[in-house]
Amino acid sequence: MALNKLYLGTNLKMYKTNSETLSYLRELVSLTADLERERLQLFVIPSFPALADASRETDRASLLLGAQNMHWAESGQYTGEVSPRMLQEIGMDIIELGHSERRHVFDESDEFIRLKTHSAVEHGFITLLCVGETAEEKAAGQADEVLRRQLVSAFTDLPEGSASKLWVAYEPVWAIGVNGQPAPADYVAERHAAIRSVLRELFGTAGKEIPILYGGSVNLENAPGYIVLPNIDGLFVGRTAWEAPRFRTLMDLVIPLWQEKK
Ligand code: PGA
């Protein structure tokens, strides 16, 4: 069964400057003005320098805004880091944590991601936790085990009622970015089922309501095949969403299919 909302969002990674982000957001808001938001949640996750202006300019009834990372402490001797207090003050809605580039390029451990997840939840943010196995882990048949480890590590011992503020993105590391191979839909369906079962173990019936998004080389050709799968509540898109008209085309492809899935 589908959740009440379809989640469609993008991580802008380290591509758009402040002014580029603002024009992108303006265009996206205007190009999607006709879409009924009752059952659609759009979101954009820009780079840090763009967040304050983006937050001032963007009507959240249109889309939510998030940060690509966050330190867990409120303040401290952490040069180069950004704290929950800073992101609260500028009105961020979402904190994205554990993206594969953070885990694999910047060596973020499960323990760092656990601390950040707990802090994000405690500071009232929606927490978008990215999980995914590497090509080696996939080849060794360890995908579900890796997903379980990442989910259990980040989500164990969260305060009561936290599930309603959690989103999960399944992003196989080998499927992400310019060198990524799009994941076959049946493979994605199996991993999403595995994620759902861990969420149910951790949160009981509330685990059924946590949106699970798919990400990794989502494009106009493969998006329809993903959105019809059970346990896929949305798409977390990179390159295909970075021009607003193409993102809108993607929406037009998947929204009707998702509505039929209900
Ligand atoms: P991509 O990025 O769609 O460009 O592969 C996805 C992601 O990293 O979230």
Each residue of 63-88: pLDDT tens digit?
999 999 999 999 999 999 999 999 99
Pocket-testing residue among 45, 68, 171, ligand 1, by greatest number of atoms within 8 A of Cβ: 171
What percentage of residues in the chain have a pLDDT greater than 70? 99
User: Which numbered atom of ligand 1 lies nearest the CA of 101?
Assistant: 8
pLDDT, tens digit, 9 for 90 and up, residues 147-177: 999 999 999 999 999 999 999 999 999 999 8
The catalytic position among 71, 96, 171, 192 is: 171
What integer is the mean pLDDT of 41-66? 98
What integer is the mean pLDDT of 239-251? 98
Burial classification of residue 124, based on how many CB atoms lie within 10 Å of its CB (0-12 exposed, 13-18 middle, 19 or more buried): exposed
What integer is the mean pLDDT of 36-49? 97
pLDDT score recorded for residue 2: 74
What integer is the mean pLDDT of 16-26? 98
pLDDT score recorded for residue 170: 98
What integer is the mean pLDDT of 204-212? 97
pLDDT of residue 3 exceeding 90, the answer is no
pLDDT score recorded for residue 261: 85
Amino acid at 144: D
Q: What is the pTM of this model?
A: 0.97
pLDDT of residue 243 exceeding 80, the answer is yes
What integer is the mean pLDDT of 137-144? 98
pLDDT of residue 1 exceeding 80, the answer is no
pLDDT of residue 262 exceeding 70, the answer is no
Radius of gyration of the chain (CA): 17
Q: Please tell me the distance between residue 217's alpha carbon and the centre of ligand 1 in angstroms.
A: 5
CA distance 31 to 40: 15
Question: Structure tokens of 185?
Answer: 């839909």
What percentage of residues in the chain have a pLDDT greater than 90? 97
The catalytic position among 71, 99, 118, 123 is: 99
pLDDT, tens digit, 9 for 90 and up, residues 209-219: 999 999 999 99
What integer is the mean pLDDT of 87-95? 98
Among 201, 58, 41, smallest CA distance to 128 is for 41
186: enclosing H helix or E strand? helix 185-203
